[in-house]
A and B are shown apart, each in its own frame.
Chain A
Amino acid sequence: GAVVSQHPSRVICKSGTSVKIECRSLDFQATTMFWYRQFPKQSLMLMATSNEGSKATYEQGVEKDKFLINHASLTLSTLTVTSAHPEDSSFYICSARGADSAEAFFGQGTRLTVV
């Protein structure tokens, strides 16, 4: 399968600071990228969908001013958690899909801890 690299795998930050998570498709062009959040022992919750070069589409209840998504190229999307609070602590996962492809491939995930 295709390779999606997510970085960092773990990050600890102080309340009020911002954190950027990167998601890269290494061997294919990702026309669509998805960002998920996962709580312990729960399934993936879609936060937003982004298509290269256009604004992300956020799911209901997800604050777009808090979770900034940029998909500036066909191989890179970033999620920035702004003014992080302890309740933002979670496991964030990106996935990427190429044009005309049904399969989406996932990154390794980022464990964010806000202290």
Chain B
Amino acid sequence: EDQVTQSPEALRLQEGESSSLNCSYTVSGLRGLFWYRQDPGKGPEFLFTLYSAGEEKEKERLKATLTKKESFLHITAPKPEDSATYLCAVQVFWWNNAGNMLTFGGGTRLMVKP
């Protein structure tokens, strides 16, 4: 069974205090790993897709990395507006590509204090 575990569940940072969020996964065949940001009462906002171990992607203060077992979302010098829940999800290869649904982790609630 495909599993995705995110840690920590919650993270409090001071503004400017860099840190990393972890997403560990156990899947049969990874097609892609996705990071989303979700603000309260809103749908998830797409951030990154990673396809293979060693891949890295950056966007402003965020950088996502991928290994064969886990992904990290690094936040450099965070600001209060980075406060949100960050979700990671995996997509596995299906025999018919018709489904390819995402399996989500539990999310990390990030709070950045000014």
A interface residues (Cβ-Cβ under 8 A, vs B): 1, 4, 6, 32, 34, 41-44, 46, 49, 51, 57, 91, 93, 95, 97, 102-109, 111
In the bound complex, CA of A11 to CA of B111 (Å) = 29
Known: A109-B41, A109-B43, A111-B41. A49 touches B99 (CB 8 A): yes
Report how far A11 CA is from B43 CA in the complex, Å.
16
Indicate which residue in B34, B98, B106, B109 contacts A51 across the interface (CB closer than 8 Å). B98
B105 and A43 form a contact (CB under 8 A) = yes
A-B contact pairs, 26 of them (CB 8 A): A1-B45, A32-B100, A34-B102, A43-B87, A43-B106, A44-B87, A44-B104, A46-B101, A46-B102, A49-B101, A93-B43, A95-B44, A97-B100, A102-B34, A102-B49, A102-B91, A103-B32, A103-B34, A103-B49, A104-B34, A104-B46, A105-B46, A107-B43, A108-B42, A109-B42, A109-B43
Query: How near does chain B come to A24, taking the closest CB pair, in angstroms?
Result: 13
* CB contact between A102 and one of B32, B44, B45 (< 8 Å): that residue: B32
